């Protein structure tokens, strides 16, 4: 079955061009032109990925992202017309997996979409069904994470990062290595993206996020998952 993309973009010329290019690549595309349409389409269509403009009529992209994340871990790529770090960081804080600044190359967007969808389950976890570490359990088949039996809601990138680290316990990865492994070689963001996602993960899976016992910081190098 072809992957379904929800494209949320109020610039109709741009949305038409993106829809054409995405469908040419074999994706099914649903278009929404404002925030209200986007949330309605989310509940109706259950897309595999969302492309979300920040500056939208009725409900802005930040609020749409926040609303989506209450119920879904669907990958979100944010589009912004402003090349400012605060916009990008806020988008990541709200749960976006990636961002692109307008104007952008359609081929780069396609590459990022494919990379995100391809990395939903890292190759390091191939062949395994359940990873259990203490109170943490990752069910790879069901794409589900629990702590002491309680399900934890993670974004697509948070899940992929957690699964990658947990599948390679004890191995230290630099921020640059994690950026390449999880976001892909073509990702143009900086290493702060990794720090933001690690912080979010710790807040969700660690008993004491300020003194983590699962995802450990290796000072001057990067991160690793505990060995025992």
List the chain domain ranges: 4-118, 123-225
The model's pTM is: 0.60
Within the chain, strands assigned E span 4-8, 28-32, 49-53, 76-80, 98-101, 130-133, 136-139, 144-147, 150-152, 173-174, 215-218, 222-225
Query: Both tokens of residue 174?
Result: 């630099």
CB-CB contact of 82 with 38 (8 Å): no
- The CATH topology of domain 123-225 is Arc Repressor Mutant, subunit A (1.10.10)
Q: Which residue would you say has higher pLDDT here, 142 or 57?
A: 57
What pLDDT was estimated at residue 70? 82
Q: Which residue would you say has higher pLDDT here, 90 or 171?
A: 171
Encode burial over 133-172: b for 16+ CB neighbours within 10 A, e otherwise.
Answer: eeebbbebeeeebbbeeeebebbbbbbbbbbbbbbbeeee
Strand 136-139 versus strand 130-133 pairing type: antiparallel
What pLDDT was estimated at residue 210? 93
Name the residue among 161, 158, 49 with its Cα closest to residue 109: 49
What pLDDT was estimated at residue 181? 86
Residue written as token pair 């690549």? 25
Lowest mean pLDDT among 74-78, 84-88, 109-113, 146-150: 84-88
Chain centroid to CA 184? 12
Q: What is the pLDDT of residues 42-55, one digit of tens each?
A: 988 888 899 999 99
Q: Which residue would you say has higher pLDDT here, 185 or 168?
A: 168
- The CATH topology of domain 4-118 is Rossmann fold (3.40.50)
> H-helix or E-strand containing 200?
helix 192-205
Name the residue among 210, 116, 217 with its Cα closest to residue 165: 217
Query: Both tokens of residue 78?
Result: 């944010």
Confidence at 91, pLDDT banded by 50, 70, 90? confident
Confidence at 124, pLDDT banded by 50, 70, 90? very low
- Which SS3 state, helix, strand or coil, does residue 67 take? helix
Average pLDDT, the chain: 87
What pLDDT was estimated at residue 90? 79
- Most confident of the following: 37-46, 94-103, 136-145, 203-212: 203-212
- Which SS3 state, helix, strand or coil, does residue 34 take? coil
Confidence at 125, pLDDT banded by 50, 70, 90? very low
Alpha-carbon span 200 to 49, nearest angstrom: 20
DSSP 8-state symbol, 17 = H
Confidence at 119, pLDDT banded by 50, 70, 90? low
CB-CB contact of 163 with 92 (8 Å): no
Q: What share of residues in the chain are helix, strand, coil (percent, to 5)?
A: 40, 20, 35
Confidence at 32, pLDDT banded by 50, 70, 90? very high
- Which SS3 state, helix, strand or coil, does residue 185 take? coil
């Amino acid at each position: 079955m072809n992957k379904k993309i929800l494209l949320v973009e109020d610039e109709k010329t741009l949305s038409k061009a993106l829809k054409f290019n995405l469908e040419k690549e074999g994706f099914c595309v649903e278009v929404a032109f404002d925030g209200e349409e986007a949330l309605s389409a989310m509940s109706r269509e259950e897309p595999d990925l969302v492309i979300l403009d920040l500056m939208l009529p009725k409900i802005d992209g930040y609020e749409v992202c926040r609303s989506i994340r209450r119920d879904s871990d669907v990958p979100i790529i944010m589009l912004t017309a402003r090349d400012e770090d605060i916009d990008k960081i806020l988008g990541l804080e709200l749960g976006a997996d990636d961002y692109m600044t307008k104007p952008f190359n359609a081929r780069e967007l396609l590459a990022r979409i494919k990379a995100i969808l391809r990395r939903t389950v890292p190759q390091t976890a191939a062949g395994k069904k359940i990873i259990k570490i203490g109170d943490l359990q990752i069910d790879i088949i069901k794409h589900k994470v629990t702590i002491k039996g309680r399900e934890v809601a993670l974004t697509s990138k948070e899940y992929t990062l957690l699964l990658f680290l947990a599948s390679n316990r004890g191995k230290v990865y630099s921020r640059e290595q994690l950026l390449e492994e999880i976001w892909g070689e073509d990702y143009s963001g900086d290493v702060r993206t990794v720090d933001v996602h690690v912080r979010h993960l710790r807040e969700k899976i660690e008993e004491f996020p300020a003194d983590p016992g699962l995802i450990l910081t290796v000072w001057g190098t990067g991160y690793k998952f505990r060995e025992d």
